[in-house]
Chains A and B, each alone.
Chain A
Amino acid sequence: MNVIVCLKRVPDVAEIDLQVDASGKSIKTEGLPYVLNDWDNYALEEAIRIKEKTGGKVYALTVGEEADEEVLRRALALGAEEALRVWDPSLREIDPYVIALLLSKTIKDNAIPFDLILTGVQAQDDGYAQVGPILAELLSIPHVTLVNRLELQEKRVKVKRELEGGLEEELEVELPALFTIQSGINEPRYVSILGIKRVAKKEIKVLDLSALKLDPGEVLPKIKVEKLFPPPVGKGAEILKGSLDEISEKLLEIFEKGGVI
């Protein structure tokens, strides 16, 4: 089976004091570490597993600038056959609809043959959880979000979806279809630096708006970020300070007051 997997490179903001830039609409990105979006990592692993099991090809797609090719290299190192990147300097305001539109045009114009399209459930930066289902709609194929198990059958797939509070549902879906992959569905394999070096020269197809026969006026966002700001913090925690010993002593006091010990 042929699988398209859509990937996004995102800043890893754990332990980082994020700053809003002069536009007020985005963050200062200088010096931030970047990673493959966690959910996409699971989607990529799932795509590779399907290929290994059934044969066929994996196509990795991303919308972004040259630096974003890093995530495509990772896919190539894992065994993806082709990688495509979509970008155009005229793209300024991007929302999930624009990303999905570019991906759908890329898939159609390049006549990429696919049985399944996989994306992550959401991106760890903006967390919209929209690109996957929008892409499915633009391609007129069914979609299932929050998938935590895929069981391939002849022309269909049996999937498990994660609902709330530990509940799951089981669905049967006709192929071709799009699935947004939930974290924990598999155990993504490790990619060595050597493995990535090995595919450094492999071609990544780059497409701009004219290559996709799109006019900038057709690529307009449906929603716009007006500003970013620090979230309201409420009262916040009382931070216990001092040496490790002093902190432990304070904790013991708290436990004693709470009747724990």
Chain B
Amino acid sequence: MGKVMVLVEHRKGEIREITYEMLKKAQELDKEVEAVLIGEDLSELKQKVRPYCSKLITVKIEGLNEFNSEPYQQILSQLLTQRKPKILLIGHSSQGMDLAPSLGVALGCGVITDVVDFGFQNGEVWAIRQVYGGKLSAKVKASSETVILTVRSGSFDPQGLLVLEGEEEEVSFPLAPFPYKRFLGFLEAPKAEVDITQADIIVSVGRGIGGPENIPLAEELAKALGGVLACSRPVVDKGWLPKERQVGTSGKTVKPKIYIALGISGAFQHVAGMKGAQMIIAVNKDPKAPIFNVAHYGIVGDVLQVIPNLLNKLKGRKK
């Protein structure tokens, strides 16, 4: 029996990328990798995962095409009590965040969330995670028989996954009704007026822009450079720009030629949406802001001074 078990994450009939990232890391830790796939129509999903694990445990549930933490918890509680893997890996996604902490209580085991690396040491599980908005890392340990880890997306490169061609084991567990939480449906984001994912040049503003009154200044810079204006989450939360302009895990993923981050601290959720840019220029007052770790060029300063000066220079140059 393997030490590491991976919960397969899927939505709308597609395997989520985090599944392969977790399988890759699991393969590095132990050749025996078990994966668990829960859902109703599993025939196609199975084919996409089974090659990469030594055993694929499938649990078919009538009427459970999409994730719901209540039946998932019931099934995994029983499965883990029976199989006792050392580690259960779940994605630190909207699914994992809804499932892992309460599953941990049901099993009486330790749960370490949002981890970027992990391993075993003297029978304990250790994990690395970021704290204080990415300003520090923490090494966290848990010693329960099984430890649940939720894994941050993008932490492991799924390239080079080994083909193990494991066998399938279909299991079933008694399942109490789950009437408390009823899934009604998905709501797609409305079609955007401006599609920031198609832009070559993006000027993006964060909390550091100060207030809605300064948004036009950033917009002017975006126009002067022939680009579009985007933003980080706090700007949308405060209602300064619409959701369609948000870059990050809960917004859009962009890969422009140039990404100019103005007053954006560089929380992981934002960086995940823009790290594919060819060139990143960051302006921030805080020299320790994590955005400077991913940027190619950095300016430590106030965006409200840097932008007007740059705009003036741009105008002067055109004359």
Contacts and interface: CB of A to CB of B under 8 A. Distances in A.
A261 B225 contact: yes
B139 A225 contact: yes
Contacts of A187: 238-239
A148 B187 CA distance: 12
A251 B109 CA distance: 52
A238 interface: yes
Given A134-B104, A173-B180, A184-B236, A167 B186 contact: yes
B27 to A, nearest CB: 23
Interface string B171-211: 00000000111111111110000000000010000010000
Interface in B293-308: 293-301, 305-306
B11 to A, nearest CB: 8
Contacts of A67: none
Contacts of B106: 137
- The binding surface of chain A is classed by DSSP as mixed
Contacts of A224: 140-142
A137 to B, nearest CB: 4
B278 to A, nearest CB: 8
A223 interface: yes
Contacts of A161: 94, 98
By Cβ-Cβ distance, the 4 closest A-B pairs, closest first, are A237-B298, A166-B189, A184-B237, A142-B180
A228 B282 CA distance: 26
Interface in A127-166: 127-134, 136-138, 142-146, 158, 160-166
Interface in A83-103: 96-97
A227 interface: yes
7 contacts: A13-B135, A96-B101, A132-B101, A145-B98, A165-B249, A174-B180, A226-B126
Interface in B143-191: 144, 179-189
Interface in B222-265: 225-226, 233-234, 236-239, 243-244, 246, 249-253, 257-258, 265
Interface in B265-303: 265, 279-282, 285-288, 290, 292-301
A217 interface: no
A144 B281 contact: no
Interface string A9-32: 001011111101000000100000
A170 B239 CA distance: 22
A15 B297 contact: no
B319 interface: no
Interface stretch (B28-36, B57-65, B82-90, B110-118): B110-118
Contacts of B253: 165
A251 B310 contact: yes
Interface residues of B, number: 95
Nearest to A244: B309
A223 B300 contact: no
B183 A231 contact: no
Interface string A214-247: 0000000011111111111110111110001101
A179 to B, nearest CB: 11
A192 interface: no
Contact of B183 (A164, A169, A248): A169
Contact of B98 (A97, A125, A133, A226): A133
Interface residues of A, number: 82
Contact of A162 (B94, B129, B285, B296): B94
A252 interface: yes
Given A169-B187, A223-B112, A244-B309, A228 B105 contact: no
B28 to A, nearest CB: 18
B41 interface: no
Contact of B182 (A145, A171, A227, A228): A171
A174 B182 CA distance: 9
A145 B306 contact: no
A252 B135 contact: no
B51 interface: no
B97 A129 contact: yes
Contact of A166 (B243, B300, B312): B243
A237 B292 contact: yes
Most buried by A among B102, B185, B313: B102
Given A162-B250, A173-B181, 17 more contacts: A27-B136, A125-B131, A126-B131, A133-B100, A134-B102, A142-B180, A158-B184, A164-B93, A164-B250, A165-B252, A166-B244, A172-B182, A172-B184, A174-B181, A223-B142, A233-B293, A239-B299
